[in-house]
Amino acid sequence: MNQSTETLVKENVIEMRGITKRFPGVLANDHVDFDLRSGEIHALLGENGAGKSTLMNILAGLYKPDSGNILIHGKSVAFASPKDAIGAGIGMIHQHFMLVPSQTVTENILLGLNEPRFIMNLKMYDQNIVELGEKYGLPVDPKAKIWQLSVGEQQRVEILKMLYRGAEILIMDEPTAVLAPQEIEILFNTLHNMVGLGKSVIFISHKLHEVEQISDRLTVLRKGTVTAQGIEAKGVTRADLARLMVGRDIIFSLEKKPCNPGKPVIQVENVHCLNDKGLNSVNGVSFEVRSGEIVGIAGVAGNGQKELADVLTGLRKCSQGKIIIQGDDIANRNAKAGIRHGVSHIPEDRTHIGTAPNLSVTDNVIMKNYTKKPISKGWMLDTPSAEIYARELKDVYDIIVPSIDTPVRLLSGGNLQRVILAREISSEPTFLVAMQPTRGLDVGAIEGVQKLLLLQRDAGAAILLISEELEELISLSDRILVIYEGEIMGEVFDGNIDEIGLMMTGTRQNQLLKSGEIHEI
Amino acid sequence: MKSDTVVSRKSIFPFRVKFEQRISDVPKWYPIALSFAAVVVALLIGAIVLAVGGGNPWATYAHIARASFGSVGVFSDTLVKATPLILVGLACTVAFRMKLWNIGAEGQFFVGAFGASAVVLIPLLPETAPNWLFIIAMMLAGMFCGAIFGLIPGLLKAIFNVNEVISTLMLNYIAVAWNNFFIFAIWTEGGFQMSKVFPKNAWLPRLTDLGSEYPFFRGLTTHFGLIIAIIAAVILWYILNRSKWGYEIRLIGDNPKAANYAGIPIKKHIVLVMVVSGALAGLAGMSEISGVVHRLQGAISPGYGFTGIIVAWLAKLNPIAVIFVSILFGALILAGREIQPSGVPKMIQGVILVCLIASDFLIRYRVKIIRNSEEE
Amino acid sequence: MDIIIILQAGVASGTVLLFATLGGIFNERSGVMNLGLEGMMLIGAMTAFSTTVKTGNPWLGLILAMIAGGLLSQIHAFITITLQADQVVSGLALTFLGTGISLVLGEGLSKAGVISLLPVITIPLLSEIPFIGRIFFYNQSILVFLGYAMVPLCWWFINKTRPGLHLRAVGEYPAAADALGINVYRVRYFYVFIGGLFAGLAGATISLAISPGWFSELTTAGQGWIAIGLVIFSQWDPFRAMFGSYVFGALRRLILDIQGPAILFGMANPFYYNPYYGFFLQMLPYAFTIIVLVIGSKEAVKKRLGTPAALGIPYIRGQRGV
């Protein structure tokens, strides 16, 4: 990376001093200081909920700080809106891409600008955008509609959007979360390129190895306060960073008993299905999960994982194939059929699918067993036994909530996930589909969830763990299947990350073996 | 994620108003107090409009109060107006609980009245049939016809995902034309646009019928439909709050995706709820025909179907509360007949509904007044 | 029964639906559904008529009608955009309110006599084109011609201009627009206002041109609701809106005219011999709206990109929406 002598001379392009931001019930940033030098990649590190995104949203003009000030090139600024921030050369690339799916690349890039003022002659601008892309090594098709592009391409459009606006400082919020390992390499090269051309980059992440690899300096946040400000990345160990992030040592590996698989619980045979847009998204997937094992599904987001989970739990029709559980084919039945066969589902989207936000904790935990005794009493619902059940789960699973009548929309992410886990696990599932069960949780909560999953495995459940966090997959799973464009590329038993990475980008395992590529990387 | 300040105005005032999303539940009395305040505000706004229009708002309101609660006689008339409102309010309540916007209660009311009349006018029962048999047959016929007019948009929604607001509304016009055809062409009495008067056997019992035994009841028109409506409210409360079906409706209403995930057949429930909703509105039509009008004619509703929407909303979709809110709106309708200009009750209803939905904001947000000098 | 007359009248009365539908398209493209069209149209019709009665100037009536519709729409905007209330309920409330206010302020207006109407014009050369000329360019109100101009103009505005680009972005993905400095709230308020202007214009078109006068609620007779159905049928495209509106307009005229002749298609005309069958004819536009909705909804499912993705969802900054 950069020489330290050179870094010393470099001036601060951004200084944030004493930034405080309070949300109802949370102090998201507490007197946070941050500075960025020109031509550096500065990592902003912290757990989920540490206040990284809030701080950067303030810098990008989305939020106003309650107190504190921001200096750009030594001059104090106050952003009333993102427009002001962009005007000052600050461009933020959000974790969820801010692109309008039905519009073209050019339209998205021109959105919100004053030029052209009224009539849009897109042809002329298409050319400008291609040229800009060539300059920074970001090739795009300007006429393509966003929904037609891959996630990696969409990220390029996002970067170009900011460069087109003359951004000098790029804030990237967890940019690698949606990319395959090889795509991450390409992104890192692009970032180095841009820094070489005089831009500065703030790189938000909670992945220690990436931070080590890319950043010149780093700042660590914990629970809204700074625990390390602008320290040189060189020479800092992973253990140091973890301590700064969490405030204590993290155990990097989980204690895991040896896997002792029993009989196959579920057999998936040649399953095909369509996604919401009506395109093929799972194309002939076959595998089985035995009782007492965790099978991981690795893959870049959007390669059919969600659809696969939906099909297995009866939420989506499959166009072809069989899903046999306990001798019955549950393909193309409904969610109820799955529930009856002991299928539990921890969905990816907690608020939109997993819970009913305005209903009470009680109503939410009985969702899957209100038709069973003792909660079901004829055509009535036995309210007292439902409440007893809810209280029991609240105690066993440590759900922190004022009362079981509280609507779940008022719960924190970790508590919400506990409500779902409590509901799905207390039914003693034979087959559990867990999709991204730890996403967005803090370290303590992650450990809790992982332990619960292992307990279920040891109790004899068959678990399918779908995750985009490779480290989590490797540490939890007994074997890992890699999915790419709705097909299984191969199976890995030893957690070889390079092998998984190559399969995630579409190389089949048998091709890998032939070319012997695995051993080179 | 958290939301930032929603509105904050920088102004010449030494303070600014800030709305913050609530992070804890509001106490139980709060929504009730808020609804009450919304109605008061609405009446004040109505008063301003009336004053601007050259009227005397206080005289108008005093007149409304006197003309609807002033004596036993007028209060009885208020209850007569409240009866169909309760049933229609319940029809809207059950549908709205599932976020199904059944705006077709008016049409379902009309065909309900048609169905009940058909029992007498086709005739399905001889004129000499006993009173109880007439009432049961008319109730069933009214509910059946209303249910059909609920079934159609229900099926369209379940199968083709047709927006139920518009389909139910269109069916309102169809229902009126349907009734008109029968009133003008088939059951017309001597060329007038109304049917013959039903035989007394087909009337719902009224308080005044007891007048010979209890002179106090003489002249009171409150009829048995009120009892039917109250029973319906109690049953519906029980179903919505204590049954599995009620739970399923709640779940679908709050988050259909979660309901689907819990294995609940949503489409079946859409159809079912629309049928129940239609049947309740149809029952309201029957009650009005058999209890008040005693014949089929064109003008049988001063917009009960639409007022029922406001009733349900003001009652916060609670069937028991629907009873009391209906009495209030019954008063407004009763007194409104004499108020000039004739649009006043409708306008006041509109203002009330606007204030009500606006007030819901304060359940989700807290108002903070901050002095500009100090931040936070 | 003359097919040319039916189509000519269809274009004329379809212009009412066209304006209302165009207003609905602007509303919904920005992500706000406004079921209050009927109320705003009534306010517009009442304002236009009463202004013209008082001042004798229909142009003033037209302008005030649009402003009245626009002002009323801002109540809906405030409730749904700022207060984030349910758009369906708020739209209904707006209909009640609009109907109530126009009944109160329009009291006695139905007895007003003849007023001066907006001019009816014939385009010299175009009207001589066989068939088409008679339908579109002969003896039509000037507002009908305004409708012809509006459709391509609106299409061009939505698809080819910067404000149109911003409008579409706000309706599809408000968070993206916000992140680039577009004021989502302001854009939505603005297009709800535009929707109100169009609805007011549609109302004025009724009371000043198509069927002059004030007949309380019967002035609009549910055309606002039909227009909401047409918005879905149009797939938020002005040209399809034009087609749908004229077909509906022609249907209305057909229903009136079909009862005239004793012989229809070589058979005895049942509607002539029993005029009460006319009640079934009256149901037709409403039944037809439902059918149109079925078609529109099926198509909307098929190509999901037609529907503005953020339609009906209040935008709250910082909250993950669509």
List, edge to edge, every strand of the sheet that includes A293-298. A343-346, A431-435, A462-466, A293-298, A479-484, A487-492
CA A326 to the chain's CA centroid: 33
Task: Give yes or no for A118 touching C (CB within 8 A).
Answer: yes
Interface contact flag, C173 A98, Cβ < 8 Å: yes
Closest by CA position to C221, among listed C244, C194, C255, C193: C255
Q: Distance, in angstroms, between A51 CA and closest chain B CA? A: 12
Q: Return the pLDDT at A517.
A: 53
Interface contact flag, C169 A100, Cβ < 8 Å: yes
CA-based diameter of chain B, in Å?
A: 83
C222 contacts on B by Cβ (under 8 Å): 169-170, 173
Q: Distance, in angstroms, between A50 CA and closest chain C CA? A: 16
Average pLDDT over residues C134-145: 90
Q: Distance, in angstroms, between C84 CA and closest chain A CA? A: 16
Task: Say if C312 falls within a structural domain.
Answer: no
**Could you tell me which residue, C50 or B338, shows the higher pLDDT?**
C50
Q: Return the pLDDT at B376.
A: 38
Residues of chain B with pLDDT under 70: 1-16, 340-341, 372-376
Which tokens belong to A56?
């950067």
Round to whole Å and give the CA distance between A52 and A280.
37
What's chain C's Rg over C-alpha atoms? Answer: 20
B167 contacts on C by Cβ (under 8 Å): 290, 293
Task: Give yes or no for A101 touching C (CB within 8 A).
Answer: yes
| Cβ A75 vs Cβ A468: under 8 Å | no
Question: Could you say which residues from 51 to 70 on chain B have a Cβ atom under 8 Å away from some Cβ of chain C?
Answer: 53
| Cβ A289 vs Cβ A335: under 8 Å | no
Task: Give yes or no for B136 touching C (CB within 8 A).
Answer: no
For chain A, domains (ranges, CATH) are 1-89+168-250 (3.40.50.300), 95-166 (no CATH), 254-342+430-521 (3.40.50.300), 352-428 (no CATH)
Interface test with A, best of C180, C305, C316 (most A CBs within 10 A): C180
Q: For residue C251, what are the β-bridge partners?
A: none
With a pLDDT cut of 70, the percent of chain A lying above it is: 95
B258 contacts on A by Cβ (under 8 Å): 353-356, 367
Task: Say if C311 falls within a structural domain.
Answer: no
Helix (H) or strand (E) holding A474: helix A470-476
Give the dihedral of Cα atoms A354, A355, A357, A362; nearest 10 deg.
-160
Q: Return the pLDDT at A412.
A: 75
* Cα angle A318-A324-A325, degrees, rounded to a multiple of 5: 120
Task: Give yes or no for B23 touching A (CB within 8 A).
Answer: yes
Q: Is C197 helix (H, G, I), strand (E, B) or coil?
A: helix
Residue that has been written with the tokens 């408000």 in this structure: C174
Task: Say if C267 falls within a structural domain.
Answer: yes
Which tokens belong to A127?
């050319």
Task: Give yes or no for A338 touching B (CB within 8 A).
Answer: yes
Task: Say if C241 falls within a structural domain.
Answer: yes
The CA distances from residue A462 to A281, A397, B261, C266, C284, in Å, are 24, 21, 20, 75, 58
Q: Domain of C253: which CATH number?
A: 1.10.3470
Q: Distance, in angstroms, between B257 CA and closest chain A CA? A: 5
Tell me what ipTM this predicted complex has.
0.85
Q: What is the pLDDT of residues C69-107, one digit of tens each?
A: 999 999 999 999 999 888 988 998 999 899 988 988 888
Amino acid of residue A149? L
Task: Give yes or no for C110 touching B (CB within 8 A).
Answer: no
Q: What is the DSSP pairing of strand B15-21 with strand A343-346? A: unpaired
Q: What is the DSSP pairing of strand A41-46 with strand A200-205? A: parallel
Backbone angles phi, psi at A145, to 5 degrees: -80, 145
User: How many C-beta neighbours within 10 Å does residue C270 have?
Assistant: 13
Task: Give yes or no for A435 touching C (CB within 8 A).
Answer: no
Q: Return the pLDDT at B375.
A: 43
Q: Return the pLDDT at A434.
A: 93
Q: What is the pLDDT of residues C212-245, one digit of tens each?
A: 888 888 888 889 999 998 998 888 999 999 999 9
Residue that has been written with the tokens 């706004």 in this structure: B45
C168 contacts on A by Cβ (under 8 Å): 100, 102-103
Which tokens belong to A209?
């190895």
The CA distances from residue A97 to A161, A351, B325, C78, C178, in Å, are 11, 20, 48, 29, 13
Q: Return the pLDDT at A1.
A: 42
The count of CB pairs under 8 A between chains A and C is 82
Chains with ≥3 CB–CB distances under 8 Å to C? A, B
Interface contact flag, C276 B101, Cβ < 8 Å: no
Q: Is the pTM of this model over 0.90?
A: no
Interface contact flag, B246 A370, Cβ < 8 Å: no
C306: confidence class by pLDDT, cuts 50, 70, 90: low
pLDDT at C24 over 50: yes
Taking each helix axis from N to C end, the angle separating B266-288 and B131-160, rounded to the nearest 10 degrees, works out to 150
With a pLDDT cut of 90, the percent of chain C lying above it is: 51
Residue that has been written with the tokens 């930032």 in this structure: B4
Interface contact flag, B242 A380, Cβ < 8 Å: yes
Residues of chain A with pLDDT under 50: 1-8, 519-521
Nearest to C319 among B3, B103, B174 (CB): B3
CA A342 to the chain's CA centroid: 28
Question: Could you say which residues from 385 to 444 on chain A have a Cβ atom under 8 Å away from some Cβ of chain B?
Answer: 402, 405-407, 410
Interface contact flag, C181 A81, Cβ < 8 Å: yes
Q: Return the pLDDT at A151.
A: 81
The CA distances from residue A197 to A157, A214, B249, in Å, are 19, 16, 59
Q: Return the pLDDT at A515.
A: 66
The CA-to-CA distance between both ends of chain B, in Å, stands at 21
Q: What is the DSSP pairing of strand A462-466 with strand A431-435? A: parallel
pLDDT at C184 over 90: yes
Nearest to C93 among B166, B173, B350 (CB): B350
Task: Give yes or no for B41 touching C (CB within 8 A).
Answer: no
B103 contacts on C by Cβ (under 8 Å): 92
A370 contacts on B by Cβ (under 8 Å): 244, 247
Domains held by chain C: number: 1
User: How many C-beta neighbours within 10 Å does residue A88 have?
Assistant: 20
Interface contact flag, A100 C161, Cβ < 8 Å: no
Backbone angles phi, psi at A223, to 5 degrees: 45, 45
A116 contacts on C by Cβ (under 8 Å): 162
Residue range(s) defining the domain that contains residue C138:
3-306
Interface contact flag, B156 C232, Cβ < 8 Å: no
Q: Distance, in angstroms, between A249 CA and closest chain C CA? A: 33
Task: Give yes or no for C122 touching B (CB within 8 A).
Answer: no
pLDDT at C180 over 70: yes
Q: Distance, in angstroms, between B244 CA and closest chain A CA? A: 5
Task: Give yes or no for A349 touching C (CB within 8 A).
Answer: no
Amino acid of residue A172? M
Nearest to C181 among A83, A107, A116 (CB): A83
